[in-house]
Amino acid sequence: MNQINGLGRRGFLGTVAAVAGGMSLGWNVPAAQAQGAASAAANSAATAAGGVEVGIWAVVMPDDRVIVRIARSEMGQGTLTGLAQLVADEMDADWAKVQAEYIAPEVNQANKRAWGDMSTGGSRGIRASVEYVRKGGAAAKAMLIQAAAAQWGVPAGECSASESVITHKPSGRTLRYGQVAAAAAKLPVPDNVAVKQPSEWKIVGKGVKRLDTVEKLSGKLIYAVDLQLPEMLNASIAQCPVFGGKIGSFDAAKVMGMPGVRHVLRVGDDTIAVVADKWWQAQTALKALPIVWDEGPNANVNSASIAKHLESGLDAKEAFVGLKQGDAEAGLKGAAKVVEAVYGTPFLNHATLEPMTCTAKWDGTTIEVWVSSQNGDASLAAAAEAAGVQLANVKVNKHHLGGGFGRRGQQDYVRQAVLIAKQVPGRPVKMIWSREEDMQHGFYRPITMAKMKAGLDAQGNLVALHARLSGQSILAHLFPARLAGGADPVQFQGWNKEEFGYQAIPNILIDHAMRNTHVPVGFWRGVNHNQNAVYLECFLDEVALAAGKDPLDFRLGLMGQMPKLRAVLQAAADKAEYRKKLPAGVFRGICANYGFGSYTAAVAEVSVSKQGEVKVHRIVAATDCGYAVNPDQIAAQVEGSFVYGLSALFTSENTVEKGRIVEGNFDTYEVMKLDQMPKVETVVVPSGGFWGGVGEPTIAVAAPAVLNAIHAATGKRIRTLPLKHHDLSHA
Amino acid sequence: MYPLGNSAAKGAGMIKLNVNGRVHDVDAPADTPLLWVLREWLGMTGSKYGCGAGVCGACSVHIDGDVLRSCSVALGDVGAGKVVTIEGLSPDGLSHPVQKAWLAHEVPQCGYCQSGQIMAAAALLKAVPKPTDDDITAAMQNICRCGTYQRIKAAIHDAAKGGAA
């Protein structure tokens, strides 16, 4: 980020062509405008089309359409629509005429990042944007009213706006936004505009339809993988299957005569690309290409050796402390009863259904890329670095993502596309990873284990908890500079002072023995909350049962310091009628978690046949994200979170043999299909006063709730995932 | 890896292919997967590449009314079969009952798998106009990583009732 800021303060007039609702728009965005100076949209395609910027967040068309600028990425999570709701509500725009478009990263860059952070991860897309996008909408409304008032020669205070119409109250005269936009655009952008109180919202808080659905029903939406450009070539790549290995040798002559093949290229020191007229030709030739890899020092690493490495951390003396309260060691020593258990979870690929893809074109001085990225800013920087040019010589075309889940925050595939394009100047080259390449070269959810210890007093009160994590650190792999004295604070997600829900336990120690491997790790939707919640929430069930207490009552009794977490767990329990008996053979499990600024809880209703087949009949999931911008999209994220989270519980894992990932496709990396989808009932309980995330927090509660129900059904406590390795048959 | 049928002809040459009611002359080897013929030779990118192994269903198309995974069908094996892709499911891309139901239920998240899901659902409803839950779970074996299955099921029921508009 520093690099972007450092290189980017040059300020030039950016012109971009944007497509909104099938219509091509362009505009100029002077750097000064972000500081509140007058808009200067002259000499642009926008003027020709009659659309004008009113402030920087909205373009108003003569027919009153409002096109909201979006800086974050849309990968299915609904952020694009939610952000448009926030801007449109403050503008008092007619929602039926609202559309959205991406702001180009280079335009953001050239304007001192006036549109803010483009990074779309950590469930921050809306909650980290709410202040400035709402102000942007409110500023646009003030400008439109001011322009109308000036036209009428009346005080602005006598005018109001509703559904894109301005009314002069004393005279009853009206003007539409499209009629005054040109005049409004010339006014200074006000600095200090007030935003609405929640009680005044008309569009925010409603489950309005998404703005981007129609094109997804007809096959017309162009994902990065679908791009077709004149003169375009296609590339398929092979990366050294062993992480850390390099290219040894390859015999290009063997495939150069194959249909369509143009080039066989080195891409850095560990990747080979075949470039052909068509991707299928490139892929066919790549498979026929004789390659010898220099597998490097990791060629003998396997899952068993990694497990041993992690086990060494469970009782290691040295560990980073994430949370300390009282004296856990003394508390355990003095306890009447000690409960102990070891848990573990595997590496997991994000497995976006659209594989990593990027198109790049090098013309000798500038590099242009077309990409599905979770971070337009980072794609711009990565393309510049790989091409060896200044940021001003880069153009990034953002496409909707065919899934992100954290994977597309990394820019490895952008760098590769640029390195390929630089060797094929003058023609765009679209690189598509095969599924196998995608599966075996991810940034995996880190492998971790946890040794959990709890001490109960004679009355069954939980008086001491020690959670020892052992496993791989994301920051150590991706951002070592962000380690704090060697420790990875991300490892303690859900388990730090801010997020840990059970601080009524008098003695707590949570620590981490870092055990890194050669496998690249990254931010997998929900990140470390997922594993930590499995360890803690299943273990708390074990402890509750050892104390002879009901798992719900036991938890509620420890949540005094976090009343909103307690309320959301209670809301889930109430909706699920927790105190009522279930039909014979059906059992409940519960779970709660606080992460990404939101409180989540789940109740699972599960049966397990004598033969060990699990059926999840019903999930009740409650979410308190503070303010609910679009309740229907929140429900969609909660429903989807159970598919992502329960895939990880039941079947998904990546294993390592001979230094490489074993699973190559969805036949071995199994994910949930429709037949396993439980009925998910979403309870949105927005308590107000804060903005929490939505896309990730529910994943954490999916697996533990079901695992706890499985224990209730079978008496079997499963402590290592995935479930497919366990025999759940029972008497 | 690519189970491409028993196509004997491997050489290049014009092969006739009927897609969405139009016959194309395709200059591709007979063992080229239909998916890549659609995407790269004909420029129709609505059918998606997800796995290339017939597992995920993102490439689902109809051939003579049956839903098939186009990544695992060789061009040379299509013969006179009539291929329908997402682009040809309805004239405006919106008016098929399944598309209407998908819109009413806000099914898509990222949307990448939805071409295939919609083609699978359309074929199901043609074969079984009033499907039960079991019919749906048996027929809908396409992967959605965003997890839209609950809405897919509801939308299919709605489309079967003719209720979603």
For residue range A581-594, list pLDDT tens digits in order.
999 999 999 999 99
Per-residue pLDDT of A494-508, as tens digits, reads 999 999 999 999 999
Instruction: Tell me the chain A residues in contact with residue B140 when contact means C-beta distances shorter than 8 Å.
Output: 673-675
- Which residues in B lie closer than 8 A to residue A648 (C-beta atoms)? none
Positive/negative CA dihedral, B161, B146, B144, A671: negative
Q: Do B141 and A434 lie within an 8 Å CB cutoff?
A: no
Mean pLDDT of A40-64: 69
Asked whether the domain spanning A224-296+356-432 has the same topology as the one spanning A2-215, the reply is: yes
Q: How far is A376 from chain B (nearest CA, A)?
A: 17
- pLDDT tens digits along A235-289: 999 999 999 999 999 999 999 999 999 999 999 999 999 999 999 999 999 999 9
Can you say how many angstroms the Cα of residue A525 is from the centroid of all Cα atoms in its chain? 6
Q: State the smallest CA–CA distance between residue B80 and chain A in angstroms.
A: 23
Bigger pLDDT: A31 vs B53: B53
Q: What is the pLDDT of residues A437-478, one digit of tens each?
A: 999 999 999 999 999 999 999 999 999 999 999 999 999 999
- Is the per-residue pLDDT at B5 higher than 50? no
Nearest to A225 among B12, B49, B51 (CB): B49
Amino acid A130: pLDDT: 97
A160 to chain B, minimum CA–CA distance in Å? 34
Parallel, antiparallel, or unpaired for β A233-239 and A429-432? Answer: parallel
Residues of chain B with Cβ-Cβ distance to A353 below 8 Å are 48, 50, 56, 58, 110, 112-113, 143-145
Whether residue B13 is predicted with pLDDT greater than 70 in this model: the reply is no
Check: CB of residue A85 under 8 Å from CB of residue A631.
Answer: no
Cβ contact (<8 Å) for B149 and A643? Answer: yes
pLDDT above 80 (res A92)? yes
Q: Which CATH superfamily is domain B14-87 in?
A: Beta-grasp domain (3.10.20.30)
Separation of alpha carbons A717 and B131, rounded Å: 38
Average pLDDT for chain A: 93
Per-residue pLDDT tens over the stretch A522-558: 999 999 999 999 999 999 999 999 999 999 999 999 9
Give the long-range contacts of residues A172-176, CB within 8 A, separation 24 or more.
A175/A148, A175/A151, A176/A64
How far, in Å, CA of B110 to CA of B146, rounded? 7
Q: List the single residue in B51, B141, B148 with the smallest CB-CB distance to A640.
A: B148
Does the structure show a pLDDT above 50 at A10? Answer: no
Instruction: Round to whole Å and give the CA distance between A131 and A112.
Output: 18
Domain ranges of chain B: 14-87, 97-161
DSSP state of B72: G
Lookup result for tokens 């020690």? A466
CATH number of B97-161: 1.10.150.120
Q: Distance of CA A308 to CAs A313, A314, B123, Å?
A: 9, 10, 50
- Put simply, the answer to whether A228 touches B43 (Cβ < 8 Å) is yes
Report how far apart, in Å, the C-alpha atoms of A470 and of each of A476, A510, A538 are: 14, 11, 17
Residue A28 is predicted with a pLDDT of: 28
Amino acid at B54: G
Question: Domain locations in chain A?
Answer: 2-215, 224-296+356-432, 303-347+444-725
Question: Using a CB-CB distance cutoff of 8 angstroms, which residues of chain B are in contact with residue A212?
Answer: 111
| Max CA separation in chain B (angstroms) | 49
User: Rounded to an integer, what distance in angstroms lies between the CA atom of residue A127 and that of residue A408?
Assistant: 20
What is residue B162's predicted lDDT score, i.e. its pLDDT? 83
**Residues B89, B19 contacting (CB under 8 angstroms):** no
pLDDT at A14 over 50: no
pLDDT digits (tens, 9 = 90+) for A672-684: 999 999 999 999 9
Tokens of A564: 């909103």
B89-148 per-position pLDDT tens digit: 999 999 999 999 999 999 999 999 999 999 999 999 999 999 999 999 999 999 999 999
Residues of A whose CB is below 8 A from B94:
214, 217-218
Alpha-carbon distance A709 to A670, whole Å?
22
pLDDT tens-digit readout, A100-137: 989 999 999 999 999 999 999 999 999 999 999 999 99
- Could you tell me the fold of the domain covering A224-296+356-432? Aldehyde Oxidoreductase; domain 4 (3.30.365)
Tens digit of pLDDT for each residue in A403-437? 999 999 999 999 999 999 999 999 999 999 999 99
Q: Where are the beta strands (DSSP E) in A609-666?
A: 614-624, 656-657, 660-661
Mutation to test the B interface, candidates A222, A437, A674, most B Cβ within 10 Å:
A674
Among A483, A702, A426, A709, smallest CA distance to A589 is for A709
Render pLDDT for A299-355 as a digit per residue (tens, 0 to 9).
999 999 999 999 999 999 999 999 999 999 999 999 999 999 999 999 999 999 999
Please give the structure tokens belonging to residue A585: 């053979």
Same fold, B14-87 and B97-161: no
Dump pLDDT digits (tens) for B25-61. 999 999 999 999 999 999 999 999 999 999 999 999 9
Percent of chain A with pLDDT over 70: 93
The architecture of the domain spanning A2-215 is 2-Layer Sandwich (3.30)
Residue A420 belongs to what H/E stretch?
Answer: helix A412-422
Given B47, B56, B111, which is nearest A216 (Cβ)? B111
In this predicted structure, the answer to whether residue A4 has a pLDDT above a threshold of 90 is no
State whether A219 and B93 contact (CB < 8 Å).
yes
Task: Give me the amino acid identity at A374.
Answer: Q
A539 token code pair? 């273990």
Q: How close is the nearest chain A Cα to the Cα of B71, in Å?
A: 11
How close A349 gets to chain B, by Cα (Å)? 12
Determine how β-strand A614-624 pairs with β-strand A598-608: antiparallel
Cα(A74)–Cα(A83) distance, integer angstroms = 11
In chain A, which residues have their Cβ closer than 8 Å to the Cβ of B99?
Answer: 217-218
Please determine, for residue A665, whether its predicted confidence score (pLDDT) is greater than 90: yes
Q: How confident is the model at residue A608 (pLDDT cuts 50, 70, 90)?
A: very high
Q: Does domain A303-347+444-725 have CATH number 1.10.10.10?
A: no
Report how far residue A694's alpha carbon sits from residue A696's, in angstroms, rounded to the nearest whole number: 6
Query: Around Cβ A618, how many Cβ atoms within 10 Å?
Result: 16
CB pairs under 8 A between A and B: 181
Contact criterion met (CB < 8 Å) for B48 and A209:
no
Contact between B130 and B159 under an 8 Å Cβ cutoff? The reply is: no
Nearest to A443 by CA among A353, A521, A523, A356: A521
- Interface mutation target, options A206, A208, A217, chain B, most CBs of B under 10 Å: A217
Name every chain B residue with its beta carbon within 8 A of the beta carbon of A402: 48, 110-112
Query: Tell me: the pLDDT tens digits for A675-731?
Result: 999 999 999 999 999 999 999 999 999 999 999 999 999 999 999 999 999 999 998
